[in-house]
Amino acid sequence: MTKHFPISTAHACEPVANDPRWARVVARDRSVDGKFWYSVATTGIYCRPSCPSRAANPKNVQIHTTLAQARATGFRPCKRCNPDGPSAEQEYASIVAHACRRIELGDGELSLAGLARGSGLSAGHFHRIFKTVTGVTPKHYASARRAARLREGLSRSNTPSRRRSMMQASIPAGGSTPSRPTCSA
């Protein structure tokens, strides 16, 4: 059980407004999510840097380098940015990884709507996120995978050793006549 205790927000020596991390909060920079958290004394909540809420007055803000420190304030986690959960970027990355696996394993054509349904996102939102993470659309990804599978299949059946062994199998040893097994009584 963690003991919660309020921490003083007064840091006379180093105002939060001058902290370069505060600029990341003001910019709602998602790339620093998970690197630090901040709490707001006036609202009694703590947030991740990219929180979409209105920016607080830095005078009331304290920056925490770990989630445990943010929790130790005794404040509540913000409902808007869910600072305790995985960041949106982490969630999107796992959604896209899951969709890629489905595309790779899928025999039939997977529709965009079908892929999006599994992710809990709208088809349009899913499409945008997939493209942001992979650099290609789900359709391009699927056709690239199909082409790769085809290439793999061709190169496997065209390897010299396989061709040679197939030829050897079709030519009976010591003769050039077509191989038809003969029954000798």
Query: In the complex, which residues of this chain contact Zn ion (CB under 5 A)?
Result: 47, 51, 53, 78, 80-81
Which residues are part of the catalytic machinery? 47, 51, 78, 81
Nearest to 119 by CA among 130, 135, 132: 130
Nearest to 44 by CA among 11, 81, 66, 77: 77
Q: Which two tokens stand for residue 178?
A: 């077509």
Give CA–CA dist 108/98, Å, rounded.
Answer: 17
Minimum Å distance from CB 81 to Zn ion?
A: 3
Taking the least distance from each CB to Zn ion, the nearer of 53 and 134 is 53
Taking the least distance from each CB to Zn ion, the nearer of 46 and 130 is 46
Give CA–CA dist 87/50, Å, rounded.
Answer: 9
The residue nearest Zn ion at its CB is 78
Minimum Å distance from CB 87 to Zn ion?
A: 12
Taking the least distance from each CB to Zn ion, the nearer of 51 and 72 is 51
Give CA–CA dist 6/71, Å, rounded.
Answer: 10
Q: How many CB atoms lie within 10 A of CB 21?
A: 17
Nearest to 61 by CA among 4, 12, 15: 15
Minimum Å distance from CB 120 to Zn ion?
A: 21
Minimum Å distance from CB 51 to Zn ion?
A: 3
Taking the least distance from each CB to Zn ion, the nearer of 82 and 134 is 82
